[in-house]
Amino acid sequence: MNPSHSPELERQQSTDPETLLAFLNDKDLGLGAKQRTLVKAQRVEISSAAASPIFVVFRGQLQVYVPTRQGTDVFVTDVEDGEMVGESAAFTEHDTPLLIEASKPTEVYVIDRGHFVRAMTESSAFSIAVMKAMCHRLCRVNQRLATTVARSMRERLEIELRRLAKPMPDGSMQIDRLPTHEELALRISSQREAVTKELGRLVQRGIISRDRRGLRILRFDQLADAETS
């Protein structure tokens, strides 16, 4: 599907003309962006050697991991709507690939590396939009790094649950699809067993409850106090 035929994308472009999404169907820029849907848990490797394209998230969420020689994939950041991943491989030659995984069904626009680099050199407006998207993502990476270094495991888990949750009319907070304990552990630089134990402790104290695939924070004001209890 050509992005110029997407009514939802056109509405997004009209409401915020300075975002990266606003340039996807610019005929003069000629990005040639192609729409693609990644199913939940689908993985794609990005590397300089493979001349990987750039992925721009239209709707959904991607998780970015760095594989290690020990066989562990280290979680780096999420990629949200209007953000991208893969630009580093377009500009630098490095041996470390990235793995991206769709945390839910995710619509992306795929841009050929050559088209992306050409547009960066020819359009200052597009370059600024790219830098803004990079800065948004970098701010989250920096915050996550600071949290990992300065906070205890319980605090890191609390912060991640708060980040994933949305407010409900009754004052509680709801996570519709909680990541697996293994995924949560990767996100907060911990171990699956520790995450399972801490979630169980919070359930016993009545601070959270589980419902099928989700989680509800029942006593939001006491979640922060759970660290010292």
Which tokens in the block code for residue 9? 């994308």
- Rounded-to-integer distance, Cα 171 and Cα 169, Å: 5
pLDDT in tens, 187-201: 888 899 999 999 999
> Rounded mean pLDDT of 168-189?
88
Report the run of H or E that residue 62 belongs to, with start and end. Answer: strand 62-67
- Determine the topology of domain 3-149 in CATH: Jelly Rolls (2.60.120)
SS3 content of the chain, % helix, strand, coil (to 5): 45, 25, 35
Q: Quick check: 153 and 198 in contact, CB under 8 A?
A: yes
- Top-level class of domain 152-228: mainly alpha
Residue ranges per domain, the chain?
Answer: 3-149, 152-228
Which tokens in the block code for residue 8? 């939802």
- Global pTM? 0.72
pLDDT in tens, 134-158: 999 999 889 888 888 888 999 899 8
